[in-house]
Amino acid sequence: MTQENFSAANLTHLDRQGQAQMVDVSAKQPTVREAIASGRVRMQADTLAAIQAGNAPKGDVLGTARLAGIMAAKQTSNLIPLCHPLPLQKVEVQITPDPELPGYQITATVRTKAETGVEMEALTAVSVAALTLYDMAKALEKSMQIEAIHLVSKTGGKSGDYAVIGNG
């Protein structure tokens, strides 16, 4: 859709007066929907090695970050205005070391059977996992960078499937 095609009539998050509103999804049928998001935390090789060895001052960096991402997905509607609270059936957060960065790749997969999708939940899970990883390791390095948080794919719903082509 090009910019000239946008109007209050086809922007679902605006009412007739142009004010923000929560989209009414009550007429939609629940379907299985899944979203995958990813991002990364770049750091010095020494920081990566210390985390991998379990030598971070705050303890279990990766376990805490993974749990924080899962918890965050469940709280998305409290964090992002106009998001619907959803019954999440699956939230998985993977944090994988990447010596080439150096740092960690973070991937979140979220699934529900509902009237609307879980893209925001997957993106929130990755964001909070990355922020928690930073918080847990900032005593080792304050210059870590959180990068490239994006939607990798989504399935289900009226808009159909979506997947990043290439490296996205």
What is the domain-level CATH number for residue 125? 3.30.70.640
135 is catalytic: yes
The sheet with strand 145-155 has its strands ordered as: 88-98, 103-114, 31-42, 145-155, 162-163
Please indicate if the annotation marks 151 as binding a ligand. Answer: no
Q: Is residue 105 part of a domain?
A: yes
- Specify burial of residue 74 (Cβ count, 10 A radius: 0-12, 13-18, 19+): middle
Please indicate if the annotation marks 133 as binding a ligand. Answer: no
* Residue count of the chain: 168
Torsion sign over Cα 85, 165, 99, 97: positive
Residue 95, pLDDT score: 98
Q: Is residue 98 part of a domain?
A: yes
Q: Is the pTM of this model over 0.95?
A: no
Number of structural domains in the chain: 1
Instruction: Please give the Cα distance from 4 to 82 (Å, whole number).
Output: 24
Return the closest-CA partner of residue 96 out of 119, 130, 56.
130
| Range(s) of the domain holding residue 93 | 31-156
Q: Is residue 101 part of a domain?
A: yes
Q: Is residue 162 part of a domain?
A: no
Distances (CA, A) of 135 to 44, 83, 128, 161: 15, 26, 10, 34
Q: What is the mean pLDDT, run by run of 10 residues, along the chain of 168 residues?
A: 48 68 75 97 98 94 98 97 93 98 98 94 98 98 98 90 79
Could you tell me if 112 and 52 are in contact, meaning their C-beta atoms sit under 8 angstroms apart?
A: no
Q: Is residue 9 part of a domain?
A: no
Q: Is residue 20 part of a domain?
A: no
Please indicate if the annotation marks 92 as binding a ligand. Answer: no
Q: Is residue 15 part of a domain?
A: no
Choosing from 15, 24, 135, 161, the catalytic residue is 135
Q: Is residue 23 part of a domain?
A: no
Instruction: Please give the Cα distance from 126 to 80 (Å, whole number).
Output: 14
